[in-house]
Amino acid sequence: MQGVDAALRAAGHEVVLLPDGVGEDELARALGDAELLLMCYTPVTARVIGAAPKLKGIVKYGVGIDAIDIEAAKRRGIPVVNVPEYAEETVAEGAFALLICLCKRIKPILGAMDARGWAWPSSQWLGLDLAGKTLGLVGVGRIGSSMARMAQGFRMRLLGFDPYAAFPPGVEKRTGLQDMLAECDFVSIHCVLNPQTRHLIGDAELRGMKASAFLVNVSRGAIVDEAALLRALQERRIAGAALDVFSAEPVRKQGHQLSALYAMDNVILSPHLSFYTREAMARLEAETLERCREVLEGRPVTVKSRDPRLRAQCKGVRFTD
């Protein structure tokens, strides 16, 4: 976020940069005189918030807010805001790209090309058509709706599970998650991580999927019980998976609970970069800077997210429809 840092300095603000992975003690000390906390993944605990007597607002430059103790911020009257709209299309494009790579066997085919220079038609390279297949969306908000629109262009049947969203045209609503999973050829996750969605896809849900079905997750790693997913893949109870997010990041080839996935031809691992395009980063910087200015200038902070945790704030915020 160098553009944001430079713009804040140009406006006369002091910007203190802390390293990724900064500890709770160091973060609490650094916030002693701070009016604004701009963060991405670093946990912002009640203790950290309590150590910042001058803090006017917390801005998450991104979407997920699960690292912030929002209740502690509310008790102090400190507004919390994220930037939910910058990569809606971008992340959906990333999810759809992973879906295509799974069904077209791109990972093993490219591996064969790199190793041997060519691959003749044989059963191990046999892919799938998307047309006529059923895609289930776990979460039908902004990103899920964008994913649905892309899938409609490929003539896929669309199902959705989301207790809160208004469903877009062409997506059949399912009120039971397991009932929906049993119908799907592909499942793509697009819900937020909160206490209700943590391990939403667990062992029972994975056992309820077709053996020929694929799972795509570009949302948050902890929405899936990753140990259960690893077992399902090792036991070939589902056909494959594409993951851009993980409970513990970064993933490593050794010493990580998901290290075994690297060796699987039916699994695609992406380093949490589905949001990362030139256009999305420009939008993120512009939106983040505007939220920072609102905090520092004492204006109500604009909350564009529909997340009920942010919508429950009543001090120092204004909501868009």
Q: In what order do the strands lie in the sheet with 240-243?
A: 171-173, 157-161, 134-138, 186-189, 214-217, 240-243, 267-269
> What b/e sequence results for 34-44 when a residue is b if at least 16 CB atoms lie within 10 Å of its CB, and e otherwise?
bebbbbeebeb
Catalytic residue, chosen from 71, 235, 249, 279, is 249
Classify strands 134-138 and 186-189 as parallel, antiparallel or unpaired.
parallel
Q: Give yes or no for a contact between 242 and 101, defined as CB atoms under 8 angstroms apart.
A: yes
Eight-state DSSP code of residue 134:
E
The structure tokens listed for 273 are 């970069």
Rounded Cα distance, 129 and 127, in Å: 7
* Active-site option among 272, 283, 293, 309: 272
Q: What is the rounded CA–CA span in Å between residue 97 and residue 276?
A: 14
Question: Max Cα separation, the chain?
Answer: 67
Q: Identify the active-site residue in 142, 220, 285, 287.
A: 220
CA distance 294 to 279: 23
For strand 317-319 and strand 57-60, is the pairing parallel, antiparallel, or unpaired?
unpaired
> What length does the chain have?
321
Tell me whether residue 287 is one of the annotated catalytic residues.
Answer: no
d(CA 207, CA 232): 8
What type of residue is 262?
Y
Active site residue 199: no
Based on the residue annotation, tell me whether 220 is a catalytic residue of this protein: yes
Tokens of residue 211, six digits: 């053996």
Other C-beta atoms within 10 Å of 208: how many? 16
Peptide bond into 250 cis (omega under 30): yes
Distance CA 150, CA 260 (A): 32
Catalytic machinery residues: 220, 249, 272
